[in-house]
């Protein structure tokens, strides 16, 4: 289903500047949207909630957090080659996805400036955080004599068009899954400091609170649009985005088993934990979520991941394109089948749970 990611050793066009990884279904994407539709969204049903999340963003709790302290003044040559490659690959993907968030939020803030002050300010504050995150990771990359050419990335990446509702579903999930990814690594290293080979991980606790706040802002945005949670279409989209994000996460985490191993984490367990937690968190925003406790849920996701590995092996051969296509047909059908079965399995009705609570 998916091509391989380029070898992290690939050298850049200029010394020290890393070539961006080849774009595949699994690399972080860059998005654009319908700015007019976004500007004209009616936010009136959630005014109080918007002021509350905006206050949180204005408070800028992490303004002094992203400063490199003396722990960074070391030579990192003692990190073995395997760990270094896995870590640099992690840094590159993280930097690209933080930067992708920055570009989207910055453009939204700019486009909405004179049309929707509340949203424009909120997106400006979100962009501020993502710029810090991307910059901090890029500095970490420079410790390994690499950096991402963010200007090149801005101009040369393909931008995927998502209508505002899709942006809201997708960004909500990417912020919340980001939160769970960072906090899970942080908590694990707190208990196993022997695996912490670089100080960046110590910054994850406060860092992930930024992602959590970003997610909360998108939650209010979602709840302010009744068609996103009251209609059957909203329900279908909610499940679609959950499935897409969880499938992508499972494939990328299993593909990068090495990186999680360097931290003393089991990739499969880590993925399951992050997916479960993100699904549980989404109950507060989405009309429906997936049933991660269904006995087949992870079995099917992990089968998709194994299919992906099989496809990569086929892609790596010298066979003609048509032969590769035919060889991949059974695995692609199997992946589609498993995804469909997860999608159609009985979901958890978040709205029904909400009405029970209140």
**Site residues, Fe ion (CB under 5 A):** 98, 130, 133, 175, 211, 214
Q: CB of 300: closest distance to Fe ion in angstroms?
A: 29
Tell me if 290 sits within 8 A of 345, measured CB to CB.
yes
Q: CB of 257: closest distance to Fe ion in angstroms?
A: 24
Q: Which is nearer to Fe ion, 206 or 332 (CB)?
A: 206
Q: CB of 347: closest distance to Fe ion in angstroms?
A: 26
Dihedral, CA of residue 2, residue 274, residue 140 and residue 63, to nearest 10: 130
Which residue is associated with the tokens 């099917």? 300
Q: What is the 3-state secondary structure (H, E, C) of 88-123?
A: HHHHHHHHHHHHHHHHHHHHHHHHCCCCCHHHHHHH
Q: Which is nearer to Fe ion, 215 or 234 (CB)?
A: 215
Q: Which is nearer to Fe ion, 182 or 259 (CB)?
A: 182
Q: CB of 162: closest distance to Fe ion in angstroms?
A: 16
Q: CB of 329: closest distance to Fe ion in angstroms?
A: 38
What's the rounded Cα separation, in Å, for the pair 87 and 1? 25
Q: CB of 221: closest distance to Fe ion in angstroms?
A: 14
Q: Which is nearer to Fe ion, 102 or 298 (CB)?
A: 102
Can you give the C-alpha Rg of the chain in angstroms? 21
Q: Which is nearer to Fe ion, 98 or 288 (CB)?
A: 98
Q: Which is nearer to Fe ion, 58 or 115 (CB)?
A: 58
First to last CA, the chain: 44
Q: Which is nearer to Fe ion, 85 or 183 (CB)?
A: 183
Q: CB of 105: closest distance to Fe ion in angstroms?
A: 8
Q: CB of 31: closest distance to Fe ion in angstroms?
A: 13
Q: Which is nearer to Fe ion, 174 or 292 (CB)?
A: 174
């Amino acid at each position: 289903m998916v091509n391989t990611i380029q070898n992290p050793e690939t050298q850049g066009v200029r010394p020290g500047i890393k070539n961006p990884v080849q774009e595949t279904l699994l690399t972080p994407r860059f998005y654009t949207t319908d700015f007019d539709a976004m500007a004209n969204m009616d936010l009136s049903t959630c005014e109080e909630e918007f002021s509350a999340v905006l206050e949180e963003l204005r408070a800028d709790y992490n303004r002094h957090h992203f400063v490199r302290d003396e722990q960074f003044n070391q030579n990192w040559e003692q990190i073995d080659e395997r760990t270094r490659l896995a870590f640099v690959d992690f840094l590159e993907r993280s930097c690209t996805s933080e930067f992708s968030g920055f570009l989207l939020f910055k453009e939204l803030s700019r486009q909405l400036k004179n049309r929707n002050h509340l949203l424009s300010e909120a997106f400006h504050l979100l962009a501020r955080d993502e710029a810090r995150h991307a910059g901090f990771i890029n500095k970490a990359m420079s410790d390994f004599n690499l950096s991402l050419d963010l200007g090149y990335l801005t101009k040369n990446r393909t931008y995927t068009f998502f209508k505002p509702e899709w942006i809201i579903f997708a960004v909500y999930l990417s912020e919340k899954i980001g939160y769970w990814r960072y906090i899970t690594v942080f908590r694990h290293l707190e208990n196993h400091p022997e695996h912490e080979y670089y100080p960046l991980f110590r910054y994850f606790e406060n860092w992930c609170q930024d992602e959590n706040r970003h997610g909360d802002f998108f939650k209010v945005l979602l709840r302010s649009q009744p068609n996103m949670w009251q209609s059957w279409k909203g329900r279908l989209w909610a499940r679609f985005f959950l499935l897409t994000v969880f499938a992508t996460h499972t494939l990328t985490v299993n593909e990068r088993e090495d990186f999680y191993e360097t931290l003393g984490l089991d990739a499969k367990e880590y993925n399951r934990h992050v997916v479960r937690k993100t699904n549980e968190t989404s109950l507060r925003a989405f009309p429906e979520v997936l049933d991660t406790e269904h006995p087949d849920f992870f079995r099917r996701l992990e089968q998709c991941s194994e299919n992906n590995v099989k496809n990569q092996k086929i892609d790596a051969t010298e066979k003609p394109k048509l032969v590769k296509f035919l060889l991949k047909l059974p695995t692609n059908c199997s992946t589609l089948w498993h995804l469909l079965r997860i999608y159609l399995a009985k979901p958890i009705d978040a709205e029904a749970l909400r009405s029970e609570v209140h």
